[in-house]
Amino acid sequence: MKKSPNSIDIHVGSRIRLRRVMLGLSQEKLGDGLGITFQQVQKYEKGTNRVGASRLQHISELLDVHISYFFEGVPDAGNDRTVAVPSALSQFLNSKEGISLAKAFSAIKDVRVRRRVLELVQSLGGNAETDAPKTTEIFATPVN
């Protein structure tokens, strides 16, 4: 019997993919840096294979983020630690539109402009902001 991917593995994988794409790295380039195949990178990104602690540390160094980045916003697994389908947020962040939006948004250095863009998107999205983090939470830490 095949095990379903763990929700945390899926989340970590989606964060690896998001950061890799934001940096403009291919799966092949990341795999080369790790000494693994691009197929293995795909499995990590889908959550099919778990990323070991030392491997995740190496990935964080190559992607120039703190290791905690991969666990930001991790879903509460509770007692049921497996999910068959990633959350709507993970699905969006793994879509072409989500990646493109994240890249463009992170390129905006002026915090006031970022705030205005967020307000615009929230107004266009209707009541979606009830599930989204507050604007003050998003801008609590400056962007480098």
- Please indicate, yes or no, whether residues 22 and 72 belong to a single structural domain of this protein: yes
Q: Contact 137/59 with Cβ under 8 angstroms?
A: no
| Same domain, yes or no: 38 and 68 | yes
Residues 49 and 85 in one domain: yes
pLDDT computed for residue 21 by the predictor: 87
Looking at the fold, whether 61 and 123 belong to one and the same domain comes out as no
Pair 133, 94 in one domain: no
Does 14 reside within a domain? yes
Q: What is the pTM of this model?
A: 0.62
Tokens of 44: 């990590």
Read off the DSSP letter of residue 6. Answer: B
- Kindly give the confidence (pLDDT) of every residue in the chain, 144 residues in length, as a single tens digit, with 9 standing for 90 and above: 667 778 889 889 999 998 998 888 999 999 999 999 999 999 999 999 999 999 999 999 999 999 999 998 887 655 444 444 456 776 777 788 888 888 888 888 898 998 999 899 889 987 554 554 554 444 444 444
Question: Which range marks the domain in which residue 86 is found?
Answer: 7-106
